[in-house]
Structure 1
Amino acid sequence: MQFQQLQYFVAVAETRHFTRAAETVHVAQPSLSQQIRALERELGADLFQRARGNITLTDAGEALLPLARRILADADTARHEVMELAQLRRGRVRLGATPSLCTGLLPGVLRAFHDRYGGVQLLVEEGGSHDLVRHLARGSLDLALVVLPLPTPSPALTTVEVLHEDLVVVSSPDAPAPGRRGRPVHIRELEQTPLVMFRHGYDLRELTVAACRAEGFDPRFAVEGGEMDAVLGFVRAGLGAAVVPHMVATRAELGLRVTPLASPGLKRTIALAHRSDVAPPRAARELQQLVLAKAPQLAARNSG
């Protein structure tokens, strides 16, 4: 009894038509009929009652059908499990993340993942949440770390909250401190502080501008249009202050003055997103679990 013969038998049983069954399994109808007859000879029983325009199962066919379906299903399961394991040895994960997370969070998470699954290729796309959502929707990313709420909520995406981040004000130690030195600064006090501002489409830009306008003023930009590393460099050079995640601000090598925001402060919620209609590949699911487990720990360590 051959696996292929069982496939052909189930196809005929379900369509009750040899020609349509052959089309279903992409084989010539004479070849399908020949394999069915070979199966019947091996089993020593007819599986179908053949009459012009009327194909029905015999008692032997009725007995074989659920067994054949189970065998085919088990084979599919086995194939799927082997492919899943293979993905963890030589698969690929396409991950998107905002630039601040690429700087502050991802190095530790990706190192832990690489230690476990060294054969899996990691492709990282850096961008704002709006761009990452678009990449997810068209299938060019498996997962993305985005900022909630999404710029355009989509029922086609599933999001799981990963962590909440405090935002702080960073400035050069050689420049005047925003607000009064030694105490948290209120957003309204930034009205007199030139800011180094991220480019359009950057989540932190939208958050900062919205917070300033809620206090009744438009922020004044000393420099604008940069990515995270550029903004931090401009701040370090004394061109202005910037509002950034605490996780990024406290990196020792930056040497920046970090001033917390006065209550209620500013926070942002980081979530892991993937398409709702397509299950991420096994390697991506493993990375997803690792992000959910490790990200809060790494964020706390980097903020400490």
Structure 2
Amino acid sequence: MNVIRTFSLLLLALALTACAGKPARDAAPASVAVDSSAVPDTVDAPSAASAEPAAPAPAAVDATAAAGSTGDAAPTDAEDDFAALYGGPAPSADGGEPGRPPYDPWEPFNRKVHSFNNVVDRAIARPLATAYTHVVPRFARTGVTNFFSNLRAPVTITNQLLQGRPADAWDSLGRFMMNSTLGLGGLFDPASKAMVPRRSEDFGQTLGAWGWRGSRYVELPFFGPRTVRDVFGLAGDMPLSPIRTIEEDKLRIGLQGLQLVDMRSQLMALDDIRDSAVDEYALTRDAWLQRRNYQIENDLRGKHARGRDADDTAPIPVDAMPMPNWGN
């Protein structure tokens, strides 16, 4: 029965990744230009070592060319979509040349994975999230979201220290302590009312801040949109997950399943944008790459927006995956 339960949750996780690319986001066609001028990955699959960046779809070329020529003109549809997904204008990754295609030499493989993720999402994850939002009151769903956000604090604090940002790590530690005590284990968020900034960091961002800037895009069956750099980042975050330290399988898998459903329910507002996109894969890829570059640039420049820096709809975090605890 444990095997069946784990397999079912893995299917749910796979479904969730189809939406989790704010994780997944950008314009209708391939939208906002992403910086690809940085050097390629230093660690890569042997079979793809000589692969050239795939040419973007015609729609992507049109969108990025328009973005580079409008100057101060009205926002494009791509920029409007990005604003709807992120709550702000589409950022420039590092002020590089506009109009460059995303670094996606594995696009044929990535599109197949993305299509499979979408099928499972529409069959399983979206109906579960819809039922969750209809049955569970809003205040209870907010408490669940706060709880899992608070559990991400050890990952964030560690990576802020690794990036040489002790002041931010101190803020995150204070937020964690306040919400864990006054917030009853993180169910409430008194730290936000006290104006303590909420931030989210992972080891993929740390690797970017250390110099691994350019990295090819890859979509994973269970973890959704990533770059090769962020795949290695998963290994760095895994030991820091409080949920993964729970030895009782039923409790750990139950929490992970609840976290997956909660994350999918937060993405329901984006379903219309995704469903109406001309190229939903390009929307997911471009928005993910833009967001990651934006986060890394903020890490390097020390610019962290108060209250908006944490990315609650990011792709599946490592602590949400119902995987066995090797070594326990």
- TM-score normalised by structure 2 residue count: 0.23
Of Structure 1 and Structure 2, the greater strand share is in 1
- TM-score normalised by structure 1 residue count: 0.24
Q: Which has the higher contact order (CA 8 A, sep 6+)?
A: 2
Of Structure 1 and Structure 2, the greater helix share is in 2
Bigger radius of gyration: 1
